[in-house]
Amino acid sequence: MELPISEATGDHLILAGTTYDSRLIMGTARYPNHDVLLKALRAGGAQMVTVAIRRVNLDDPTGGNLISLLRKEGYQLLPNTAGCHTVRDALLTAELAREALGTDFIKLEIIADEDTLYPDAEKVLEGARILVEKGFHVMPYCTDDPIICKKLADLGCIAVMPLGSPIGSGMGILNPYNISLIRDLVRVPVIVDAGVGTASDVAVAMELGCDGVLLNTAVASARDPVLMAQAMRQACEAGRKAHLAGRIPRKSYAAASSPTEGRIKF
């Protein structure tokens, strides 16, 4: 039986000293119910999952809330500051997440407007600086700007998470050149976040050398979320293998695959 890529090559995603076999991080929103969510997470093989702190009930005494379910399944929780438009709101949400969940991990999101859901680069930089100083393991959702990503990495963020395209758009990676530049410039993990529509988008991200992919809508809103999650997992592994193997150079003209030496002459 073929070994998983991580076992076969010793290739792992490492975040803040924690090692993950899976390079796929999955969101937990938009699923029709918790049963489908849990089945999709298992099919995707994710070990880390995101939760929007401002949109979940942290005080449900029945133990039936989303957080309880995810903890019972053993997932590493990555709380996020989704819905925040100011640095102040993001900081308060991060502190709430740390207090309620007992984790220093935080996915920093500060949105500029409701139409594009693009990150506000200036506010993300300011929020990241403060959170790093407070001891958080910051994973910022940011634009695919190589300079912004370099600044975030230099601030001490444990990873940078540039968008592939707008959140929930399903348009895939619109600017692979920028993603490649980011991968070359920063020395922390690069995780493509937002815009993934199908498995081929995940494969492209991994082939570009990214360390992981975070996705949600592409699975949660698929006709069959569980089957799509499985496809995303396989695409992530295939793309990583292709990156490690090394693609052949692109050429403008054909190059025969069969050697010409020793060819029979008529």
Locus of tokens 């494969």:
203
Residue with tokens 């996915």: 107
Average of per-residue pLDDT across 245-256: 85
Write the CB contacts of 176 (distance below 8 Å, at least 6 apart in sequence): 204, 208
Domain 5-244 of CATH type 3.40.50.300: no
CA distance 148 to 49: 25
What per-residue confidence (pLDDT) applies to 62? 44
Cα 162 from Cα 184, distance rounded (Å): 14
Interval 157-213: pLDDT, tens: 999 999 999 888 999 999 999 999 999 999 999 999 999 999 999 999 999 999 999
Instruction: Examine the residue annotation and report whether 150 is marked as an active-site residue of this protein.
Output: no
Q: Spot the catalytic one: 39, 107, 134, 265.
A: 107
Q: What was the pLDDT predicted at 61?
A: 44
**Of the segments 53-57, 236-240, 254-258, which one has the largest average pLDDT value?**
236-240
Nearest-10 crossing angle of helices 34-44, 225-245: 20
Domain ranges of the chain: 5-244
The C-alpha angle with vertex 13 and arms to 80 and 244, in degrees rounded to 5, equals: 130
Neighbours of 57 (CB within 10 A): 10
Q: Are 241 and 5 in contact (CB under 8 A)?
A: yes
- Cα angle 80, 84, 90 (rounded to 5 degrees) comes to 65
Closest CA to 54 of 102, 115, 109: 109
Q: What is the pLDDT of residues 24-60, one digit of tens each?
A: 999 999 999 999 999 999 999 999 999 998 666 555 5
Question: Taking 80 as the threshold, does the pLDDT of residue 262 lie above it?
Answer: no
Task: Give pLDDT, residue 254.
Answer: 83
Question: What's the average model confidence in pLDDT over 108-114?
Answer: 93
Q: In this predicted structure, what is the pLDDT of residue 6?
A: 54
Quick one: what percent of the chain has pLDDT higher than 90? 76
pLDDT of residue 65: 84
Q: What are phi and psi of 198, to 5 degrees?
A: -155, 180
